[in-house]
Amino acid sequence: MTAALRAAVVGTGYWGPNLARNLRSSADWELAAICDLNLDRARKVAGRDAGVRVVQQLDDVLADDSIDAVVVATPAGTHADIAMQVLESGRHALVEKPLASSYAEAAKLVQRAEQLGLVLMCDHTYCYTPAVQKIAQLVADGELGDIQFVDSMRLNLGIVQQDVDVMWDLAPHDLSILDVVLPPEAHWTGVAAHGADPIGAGHACVAYLTLPLASGAIAHTHVNWLSPTKIRTMVIGGTRRTLVFDDLNPQQRLSIYDRGVDLSTAGDSAEQTWAARVSYRLGDMVAPALPEREALGAVVTEFAAAIREGRPPRTDGRSGLRVLEVLEAATRSLATGGALLPVGGDK
């Protein structure tokens, strides 16, 4: 039997308790410590488990040589500093999104983790849902054909954030999904952003990101804090089939349509009418059966597997870096009236 890895969770705000719960229920992990400046909150997360230490300072966690990895679930502005301390102590790190507050900070984390031979993983939770994993498989297997377009919408009524705009709050989810789904030959090459602040929040509450893809296709993401209805959909159109992902429909999260538009070039001539060249494919729709399981369970399983196998996790530090690169470029684009700015898409 492989001994369980020992982990500490730093931060018990919104997301930390969920990570702690999944570590505790995983056969791969032993929850060793909970760290938070608010000891009462940390004790509540630790519960009655006498084997879980409750501490107030990160130094107390890093002084414990038995701890193999640290999960960082603190406010985003502290991610870079805490994760760097974790890496410098020789521990593997799983960091809640975003990986850092800036591309430059994240790049330093990625470089240091690679120098030390440690696993740095970004908790892009959506990438571990059964639906997104199925989408990635379908794209990789060529079931959709060549990608022609992606349209995604993530709309809510709030929560209007004080420290970040709607792009930094909501778009990382869609960008991280695209990062794992799109093949390298169809990855993004640039971003143009448009947004508005109709309620006077001081930053964009509605935004649209347009991302040209290397294949000549295009991806578009709409994020919105002001919608009275909650919508989480993504449409991926291919030359063979089109996929619709509706995250709010547990009975049918994925629908695959054998429908599309074909433009024939055979026998093209001045006499041939445009209508004769255009054909519409109207085939069947199928809805793949998907297991219902908590994505965070798959996150902590992947973290343990990457450590044991000495390999990058599915959402490694570089995936977090790619998302941050787009967000920073989108911020600059928004400030310049929606200019198209290049992004590397180093995949």
Domains and their CATH numbers in the chain:
5-124+295-316 (3.40.50.720), 127-293+325-342 (3.30.360.10)
**Interatomic CA distance for residues 7 and 20, integer angstroms:** 9
pLDDT at 51: 87
List residues bridging with 61 in a β-sheet.
none
Structure tokens at 116: 């030390």
What does the pLDDT profile of the chain (347 residues) look like in tens digits? 578 999 999 999 989 999 999 999 999 999 999 999 999 999 999 988 878 999 999 999 999 999 999 999 999 899 999 999 999 999 999 999 999 999 999 999 999 999 999 999 999 999 999 999 999 999 999 999 999 999 999 999 989 988 889 999 999 999 999 999 999 889 999 999 999 999 999 999 999 999 999 999 999 999 999 999 999 999 999 999 999 999 999 999 999 999 777 777 665 565 567 666 777 777 789 999 998 889 999 999 999 999 999 999 999 999 999 999 999 999 999 999 999 999 985 66
H-only helix segments in the chain: 16-25, 39-46, 58-62, 79-88, 103-116, 130-140, 166-181, 274-277, 295-309, 317-335
pLDDT at 262: 76
Q: Which of 147, 197, 188, 153 is nearest to 171 (CA)?
A: 153
Strand, coil or helix: what is 199? coil
pLDDT at 158: 87
pLDDT at 275: 67
pLDDT at 132: 97
CA distances from 203 to 161, 200, 210 (A): 9, 8, 19
